[in-house]
Amino acid sequence: MPEIKHETFMKRCFNLAKRAEGFTNPNPMVGAVIVKDNKIISEGYHKQAGEKHAEIVAIEKAKGNLKSATLYVNLEPCSSFGRTPPCTEKIIKSGIKKVVIAMSDPNPAHNGKGIEILRKAGIEVIEGILKPEAEDLNRVFIKHITKKIPYITVKSAITLDGRISDYTGSSKWITSEGLRFYFHKELRSKVDAIVVGINTVLKDNPLLSARRSDNSYYKKQPVKIILDSKFRIPQDARLLREIKSDVIVVVGDDVTRTRKKKFLEAMGVKILPQPLKNGKINLPRLVKDLYKLGICHLLVEGGGKVISSFLEEKLADEIYLAYAPLIIGGRNLFYCGREMKLSRGIRVKNLSFKKFDNQIIIKGKLNYVYRNNKIPR
Protein backbone atom coordinates (compact mmCIF):
# COMPACT_ATOMS: atom_id res chain seq x y z
CA MET A 1 0.00 0.00 0.00
CA PRO A 2 1.43 3.43 -0.94
CA GLU A 3 2.13 5.75 1.97
CA ILE A 4 -0.66 8.24 2.63
CA LYS A 5 0.50 11.86 2.71
CA HIS A 6 0.53 13.93 5.89
CA GLU A 7 -2.07 16.25 4.33
CA THR A 8 -4.67 13.51 4.14
CA PHE A 9 -4.53 12.77 7.86
CA MET A 10 -4.38 16.49 8.72
CA LYS A 11 -7.56 17.11 6.73
CA ARG A 12 -9.20 14.44 8.87
CA CYS A 13 -8.10 16.43 11.94
CA PHE A 14 -9.78 19.52 10.49
CA ASN A 15 -13.03 17.65 9.86
CA LEU A 16 -13.06 16.29 13.40
CA ALA A 17 -12.34 19.71 14.88
CA LYS A 18 -15.23 21.32 12.98
CA ARG A 19 -17.72 19.04 14.74
CA ALA A 20 -17.44 21.28 17.80
CA GLU A 21 -17.59 24.63 15.99
CA GLY A 22 -19.10 27.23 18.29
CA PHE A 23 -18.80 25.12 21.44
CA THR A 24 -15.08 25.29 22.21
CA ASN A 25 -14.76 29.05 22.79
CA PRO A 26 -12.61 30.43 24.32
CA ASN A 27 -10.59 27.34 23.37
CA PRO A 28 -9.58 26.46 19.80
CA MET A 29 -11.15 23.76 17.65
CA VAL A 30 -8.83 20.76 17.64
CA GLY A 31 -8.97 17.32 16.08
CA ALA A 32 -6.43 14.52 16.55
CA VAL A 33 -5.71 11.32 14.64
CA ILE A 34 -3.38 8.46 15.61
CA VAL A 35 -1.91 6.53 12.67
CA LYS A 36 -0.08 3.19 12.71
CA ASP A 37 1.10 1.27 9.66
CA ASN A 38 -0.52 3.92 7.45
CA LYS A 39 -3.97 3.37 9.02
CA ILE A 40 -6.02 5.44 11.47
CA ILE A 41 -6.30 3.47 14.71
CA SER A 42 -7.87 6.18 16.87
CA GLU A 43 -9.16 9.73 16.69
CA GLY A 44 -10.83 12.39 18.79
CA TYR A 45 -11.73 16.04 19.03
CA HIS A 46 -12.15 18.71 21.70
CA LYS A 47 -15.91 18.96 22.30
CA GLN A 48 -16.14 22.05 24.48
CA ALA A 49 -14.17 24.18 26.93
CA GLY A 50 -13.36 22.28 30.11
CA GLU A 51 -13.58 18.84 28.51
CA LYS A 52 -10.69 16.62 27.40
CA HIS A 53 -8.46 17.88 24.62
CA ALA A 54 -8.42 16.08 21.28
CA GLU A 55 -5.04 14.42 21.83
CA ILE A 56 -6.13 12.98 25.17
CA VAL A 57 -9.37 11.61 23.70
CA ALA A 58 -7.52 9.94 20.83
CA ILE A 59 -4.84 8.41 23.07
CA GLU A 60 -7.35 7.08 25.60
CA LYS A 61 -9.47 5.52 22.84
CA ALA A 62 -6.47 3.81 21.23
CA LYS A 63 -5.88 0.12 21.81
CA GLY A 64 -2.52 -1.59 21.83
CA ASN A 65 1.05 -0.31 21.80
CA LEU A 66 1.54 3.22 20.43
CA LYS A 67 5.35 3.20 20.26
CA SER A 68 5.45 3.10 16.45
CA ALA A 69 2.40 5.33 16.00
CA THR A 70 2.18 8.90 14.71
CA LEU A 71 -0.10 11.54 16.20
CA TYR A 72 -1.61 14.15 13.87
CA VAL A 73 -3.11 17.27 15.43
CA ASN A 74 -4.05 20.62 13.88
CA LEU A 75 -2.69 22.71 16.78
CA GLU A 76 0.43 22.47 18.94
CA PRO A 77 -0.34 20.34 22.04
CA CYS A 78 -0.71 22.33 25.24
CA SER A 79 2.08 22.19 27.79
CA SER A 80 0.56 23.77 30.90
CA PHE A 81 -2.13 23.00 33.46
CA GLY A 82 -5.43 24.77 32.87
CA ARG A 83 -8.88 23.28 33.29
CA THR A 84 -7.27 20.04 32.04
CA PRO A 85 -3.75 18.55 32.42
CA PRO A 86 -1.10 19.28 29.74
CA CYS A 87 -1.36 17.16 26.58
CA THR A 88 2.41 16.93 26.17
CA GLU A 89 2.67 14.85 29.33
CA LYS A 90 0.10 12.34 28.07
CA ILE A 91 1.74 12.14 24.64
CA ILE A 92 5.18 11.42 26.12
CA LYS A 93 3.82 8.72 28.45
CA SER A 94 1.91 7.07 25.58
CA GLY A 95 5.11 6.13 23.77
CA ILE A 96 4.21 7.96 20.55
CA LYS A 97 7.44 8.81 18.71
CA LYS A 98 6.24 11.21 16.02
CA VAL A 99 3.83 14.16 16.17
CA VAL A 100 2.68 16.04 13.06
CA ILE A 101 1.31 19.54 13.70
CA ALA A 102 -0.41 22.02 11.40
CA MET A 103 0.39 25.18 13.38
CA SER A 104 1.96 26.32 16.63
CA ASP A 105 -0.13 27.77 19.46
CA PRO A 106 -0.80 31.48 18.69
CA ASN A 107 -1.03 32.26 22.40
CA PRO A 108 2.21 34.19 23.13
CA ALA A 109 2.35 32.56 26.57
CA HIS A 110 2.45 29.05 25.07
CA ASN A 111 3.81 29.46 21.53
CA GLY A 112 6.41 26.79 20.77
CA LYS A 113 6.65 25.45 24.31
CA GLY A 114 4.72 22.25 23.64
CA ILE A 115 6.85 21.50 20.59
CA GLU A 116 10.03 22.11 22.58
CA ILE A 117 8.94 19.76 25.37
CA LEU A 118 8.10 16.98 22.91
CA ARG A 119 11.42 17.29 21.11
CA LYS A 120 13.36 17.27 24.37
CA ALA A 121 11.59 14.01 25.19
CA GLY A 122 12.94 12.49 21.97
CA ILE A 123 9.74 12.79 19.95
CA GLU A 124 10.05 13.79 16.29
CA VAL A 125 7.88 16.83 15.55
CA ILE A 126 6.89 17.91 12.03
CA GLU A 127 5.35 21.38 11.75
CA GLY A 128 3.44 23.43 9.19
CA ILE A 129 1.32 20.80 7.43
CA LEU A 130 -1.60 22.74 5.85
CA LYS A 131 -0.81 25.71 8.07
CA PRO A 132 -2.93 28.29 6.15
CA GLU A 133 -5.98 26.03 6.37
CA ALA A 134 -5.34 25.47 10.08
CA GLU A 135 -5.13 29.21 10.70
CA ASP A 136 -8.41 29.77 8.87
CA LEU A 137 -10.09 27.01 10.86
CA ASN A 138 -9.17 28.70 14.13
CA ARG A 139 -9.39 32.33 12.97
CA VAL A 140 -11.78 33.15 15.83
CA PHE A 141 -9.38 31.76 18.43
CA ILE A 142 -6.36 33.46 16.87
CA LYS A 143 -8.09 36.86 16.84
CA HIS A 144 -9.34 36.85 20.42
CA ILE A 145 -6.18 35.32 21.92
CA THR A 146 -3.82 37.77 20.18
CA LYS A 147 -5.92 40.98 19.88
CA LYS A 148 -8.12 40.60 22.99
CA ILE A 149 -11.27 41.47 21.02
CA PRO A 150 -13.88 39.25 19.33
CA TYR A 151 -13.65 37.98 15.78
CA ILE A 152 -16.37 39.90 13.96
CA THR A 153 -18.52 38.59 11.11
CA VAL A 154 -20.88 40.86 9.17
CA LYS A 155 -23.88 39.29 7.48
CA SER A 156 -26.55 40.97 5.38
CA ALA A 157 -29.33 40.05 2.99
CA ILE A 158 -29.41 42.47 0.06
CA THR A 159 -31.05 43.01 -3.30
CA LEU A 160 -29.12 42.96 -6.56
CA ASP A 161 -28.94 46.75 -6.45
CA GLY A 162 -27.47 46.74 -2.93
CA ARG A 163 -30.54 47.58 -0.83
CA ILE A 164 -31.21 46.02 2.57
CA SER A 165 -34.79 47.33 2.96
CA ASP A 166 -37.51 49.06 0.95
CA TYR A 167 -38.53 52.71 1.21
CA THR A 168 -40.67 51.95 4.28
CA GLY A 169 -37.66 50.50 6.10
CA SER A 170 -38.99 46.94 5.94
CA SER A 171 -36.59 44.08 5.20
CA LYS A 172 -39.12 41.25 5.58
CA TRP A 173 -38.26 39.37 3.55
CA ILE A 174 -35.49 39.94 1.04
CA THR A 175 -34.23 36.34 1.00
CA SER A 176 -36.15 33.07 1.15
CA GLU A 177 -37.14 31.29 4.33
CA GLY A 178 -34.83 28.43 3.45
CA LEU A 179 -31.83 30.73 3.16
CA ARG A 180 -32.66 32.44 6.45
CA PHE A 181 -32.68 29.10 8.25
CA TYR A 182 -29.43 28.18 6.48
CA PHE A 183 -27.79 31.18 8.17
CA HIS A 184 -29.40 30.25 11.49
CA LYS A 185 -27.52 26.96 11.27
CA GLU A 186 -24.24 28.16 9.73
CA LEU A 187 -23.82 31.38 11.71
CA ARG A 188 -26.29 32.09 14.51
CA SER A 189 -25.98 28.65 16.11
CA LYS A 190 -22.17 28.90 16.16
CA VAL A 191 -21.36 32.49 17.15
CA ASP A 192 -21.27 33.74 20.74
CA ALA A 193 -23.36 36.85 20.19
CA ILE A 194 -25.42 38.69 17.58
CA VAL A 195 -25.66 42.48 17.43
CA VAL A 196 -28.22 44.76 15.79
CA GLY A 197 -29.16 48.40 16.12
CA ILE A 198 -32.27 49.67 17.86
CA ASN A 199 -33.86 50.62 14.52
CA THR A 200 -33.86 46.96 13.50
CA VAL A 201 -35.66 46.11 16.74
CA LEU A 202 -38.23 48.90 16.27
CA LYS A 203 -38.95 48.10 12.60
CA ASP A 204 -38.63 44.29 12.43
CA ASN A 205 -39.18 43.20 16.06
CA PRO A 206 -36.83 40.19 15.59
CA LEU A 207 -36.20 37.26 17.92
CA LEU A 208 -32.46 37.06 17.12
CA SER A 209 -32.41 33.37 18.04
CA ALA A 210 -31.02 30.34 16.20
CA ARG A 211 -33.86 28.13 15.01
CA ARG A 212 -34.47 25.24 12.65
CA SER A 213 -37.13 25.25 9.94
CA ASP A 214 -39.58 23.58 12.36
CA ASN A 215 -38.94 26.49 14.79
CA SER A 216 -37.13 24.27 17.28
CA TYR A 217 -34.05 25.83 18.85
CA TYR A 218 -30.42 24.91 18.36
CA LYS A 219 -28.52 23.91 21.49
CA LYS A 220 -26.34 27.00 21.39
CA GLN A 221 -28.12 30.35 21.32
CA PRO A 222 -26.29 33.64 20.70
CA VAL A 223 -26.24 36.40 23.27
CA LYS A 224 -28.50 39.16 21.91
CA ILE A 225 -26.88 42.60 21.85
CA ILE A 226 -28.84 45.76 21.01
CA LEU A 227 -27.07 49.05 20.29
CA ASP A 228 -29.48 51.55 21.81
CA SER A 229 -27.70 54.77 22.78
CA LYS A 230 -30.94 56.55 23.77
CA PHE A 231 -32.49 53.53 25.53
CA ARG A 232 -35.54 53.32 23.25
CA ILE A 233 -36.05 49.55 23.34
CA PRO A 234 -39.74 48.67 23.95
CA GLN A 235 -40.39 46.67 27.08
CA ASP A 236 -42.57 44.29 25.04
CA ALA A 237 -39.98 43.59 22.32
CA ARG A 238 -40.14 39.95 21.22
CA LEU A 239 -36.45 39.34 21.90
CA LEU A 240 -37.08 40.30 25.54
CA ARG A 241 -40.21 38.19 25.92
CA GLU A 242 -38.63 35.07 24.45
CA ILE A 243 -35.35 34.95 26.32
CA LYS A 244 -33.50 31.80 25.26
CA SER A 245 -30.14 33.42 25.93
CA ASP A 246 -28.66 36.47 27.61
CA VAL A 247 -29.71 39.90 26.37
CA ILE A 248 -27.43 42.94 26.53
CA VAL A 249 -28.76 46.43 25.80
CA VAL A 250 -25.90 48.84 25.13
CA VAL A 251 -26.88 52.38 26.10
CA GLY A 252 -25.15 55.74 26.27
CA ASP A 253 -23.46 56.43 29.58
CA ASP A 254 -25.71 59.49 30.00
CA VAL A 255 -28.93 57.41 30.13
CA THR A 256 -30.77 57.83 33.45
CA ARG A 257 -34.13 56.05 33.01
CA THR A 258 -33.90 54.10 36.24
CA ARG A 259 -37.47 52.73 36.22
CA LYS A 260 -37.09 51.16 32.78
CA LYS A 261 -33.60 49.98 33.67
CA LYS A 262 -34.84 48.25 36.82
CA PHE A 263 -37.73 46.66 34.92
CA LEU A 264 -35.46 45.15 32.28
CA GLU A 265 -32.84 44.05 34.78
CA ALA A 266 -35.57 42.23 36.70
CA MET A 267 -36.21 40.28 33.48
CA GLY A 268 -32.56 39.28 33.38
CA VAL A 269 -31.46 41.85 30.80
CA LYS A 270 -27.99 43.35 31.22
CA ILE A 271 -27.79 47.11 30.68
CA LEU A 272 -24.30 48.04 29.50
CA PRO A 273 -23.52 51.79 29.57
CA GLN A 274 -20.92 52.94 27.06
CA PRO A 275 -19.33 56.30 26.24
CA LEU A 276 -20.60 57.93 23.06
CA LYS A 277 -18.48 58.97 20.09
CA ASN A 278 -20.12 61.58 17.85
CA GLY A 279 -23.48 60.65 19.36
CA LYS A 280 -23.04 56.91 18.70
CA ILE A 281 -21.84 53.95 20.73
CA ASN A 282 -18.04 53.85 20.80
CA LEU A 283 -17.56 50.52 19.01
CA PRO A 284 -13.79 50.06 19.60
CA ARG A 285 -14.42 50.43 23.33
CA LEU A 286 -17.50 48.20 23.18
CA VAL A 287 -15.77 45.23 21.53
CA LYS A 288 -13.09 45.29 24.21
CA ASP A 289 -15.79 45.13 26.88
CA LEU A 290 -17.57 42.31 25.04
CA TYR A 291 -14.32 40.34 24.99
CA LYS A 292 -14.13 40.74 28.77
CA LEU A 293 -17.66 39.32 28.95
CA GLY A 294 -16.50 36.18 27.13
CA ILE A 295 -17.66 37.03 23.61
CA CYS A 296 -15.16 35.48 21.19
CA HIS A 297 -17.19 35.54 17.96
CA LEU A 298 -19.59 38.39 17.23
CA LEU A 299 -22.12 38.40 14.38
CA VAL A 300 -23.26 41.81 13.10
CA GLU A 301 -26.62 41.59 11.32
CA GLY A 302 -27.69 45.19 10.96
CA GLY A 303 -29.03 47.49 10.03
CA GLY A 304 -27.14 49.52 7.49
CA LYS A 305 -25.90 52.16 9.92
CA VAL A 306 -24.59 49.55 12.36
CA ILE A 307 -22.87 47.55 9.62
CA SER A 308 -21.35 50.73 8.18
CA SER A 309 -20.06 51.76 11.60
CA PHE A 310 -18.27 48.44 12.11
CA LEU A 311 -16.72 48.75 8.65
CA GLU A 312 -15.69 52.38 9.15
CA GLU A 313 -14.02 51.50 12.45
CA LYS A 314 -12.17 48.67 10.67
CA LEU A 315 -13.48 46.14 13.18
CA ALA A 316 -15.16 43.55 10.95
CA ASP A 317 -13.06 40.56 9.86
CA GLU A 318 -15.26 38.77 7.36
CA ILE A 319 -18.48 39.32 5.48
CA TYR A 320 -21.40 37.26 4.20
CA LEU A 321 -23.68 38.86 1.61
CA ALA A 322 -26.83 37.00 0.57
CA TYR A 323 -28.05 38.37 -2.77
CA ALA A 324 -31.72 37.99 -3.68
CA PRO A 325 -32.89 38.23 -7.33
CA LEU A 326 -34.65 41.52 -6.68
CA ILE A 327 -34.26 45.20 -7.61
CA ILE A 328 -36.11 47.82 -5.56
CA GLY A 329 -34.14 51.09 -5.74
CA GLY A 330 -34.15 53.67 -2.98
CA ARG A 331 -31.65 54.92 -0.43
CA ASN A 332 -31.45 52.05 2.05
CA LEU A 333 -28.05 50.76 1.00
CA PHE A 334 -26.01 47.99 2.59
CA TYR A 335 -23.17 50.45 3.13
CA CYS A 336 -24.17 54.00 4.02
CA GLY A 337 -20.88 55.20 5.50
CA ARG A 338 -18.44 57.75 4.23
CA GLU A 339 -17.58 57.78 0.56
CA MET A 340 -14.15 56.51 -0.45
CA LYS A 341 -11.97 56.71 -3.53
CA LEU A 342 -11.51 53.48 -5.44
CA SER A 343 -7.90 53.35 -4.29
CA ARG A 344 -8.99 53.54 -0.65
CA GLY A 345 -11.94 51.19 -0.67
CA ILE A 346 -12.23 48.21 1.66
CA ARG A 347 -10.79 45.20 -0.13
CA VAL A 348 -12.49 41.79 0.06
CA LYS A 349 -10.19 38.80 -0.42
CA ASN A 350 -10.48 35.00 -0.36
CA LEU A 351 -13.89 35.22 -2.00
CA SER A 352 -16.13 32.17 -2.14
CA PHE A 353 -19.53 31.78 -3.77
CA LYS A 354 -22.46 29.50 -3.02
CA LYS A 355 -25.76 29.25 -4.86
CA PHE A 356 -28.81 28.64 -2.69
CA ASP A 357 -32.00 28.12 -4.70
CA ASN A 358 -32.15 31.29 -6.82
CA GLN A 359 -29.92 33.31 -4.50
CA ILE A 360 -26.16 33.81 -4.20
CA ILE A 361 -24.05 33.87 -1.02
CA ILE A 362 -20.73 35.69 -1.23
CA LYS A 363 -18.21 35.27 1.58
CA GLY A 364 -14.88 37.03 1.97
CA LYS A 365 -12.23 38.38 4.33
CA LEU A 366 -11.99 42.16 4.79
CA ASN A 367 -8.72 43.95 4.15
CA TYR A 368 -8.37 47.55 5.33
CA VAL A 369 -5.41 48.76 3.28
CA TYR A 370 -4.95 51.17 0.40
CA ARG A 371 -4.63 49.75 -3.09
CA ASN A 372 -0.86 50.24 -3.09
CA ASN A 373 -0.85 47.92 -0.05
CA LYS A 374 1.60 50.18 1.78
CA ILE A 375 -0.48 52.57 3.86
CA PRO A 376 -2.57 50.98 6.63
CA ARG A 377 -6.01 52.45 7.08
- Active-site option among 3, 51, 55, 265: 55
DSSP letter string, 205-274: ------B-TTSPBPSS-PEEEEE-TT----TT-HHHHS-SS-EEEEEETT---HHHHHHHHHTTPEEEEE
Count the helices and strands in the chain (H runs, E runs). 12, 16
Nearest Cα to Cα of residue 99 among 77, 68, 124:
124
d(C-alpha 165, C-alpha 173), whole Å: 9
Helices 6-18 and 54-61 cross at an angle (nearest 10°) of: 110
d(C-alpha 366, C-alpha 351), whole Å: 10
Long-range contacts of 53-56 (CB under 8 A, 24+ apart): 53/77, 53/78, 53/84, 53/87, 54/13, 54/16, 54/17, 54/30, 55/30, 55/87, 55/90, 55/91, 56/84, 56/85, 56/87, 56/90
Angle at 171 between CA 166 and CA 172, to 5 degrees: 120
| Annotated catalytic residue 55 | yes
Q: Confirm if 237 and 231 have CB atoms less than 8 A apart.
A: no
Q: Confirm if 312 and 337 have CB atoms less than 8 A apart.
A: yes
Active site residues: 55
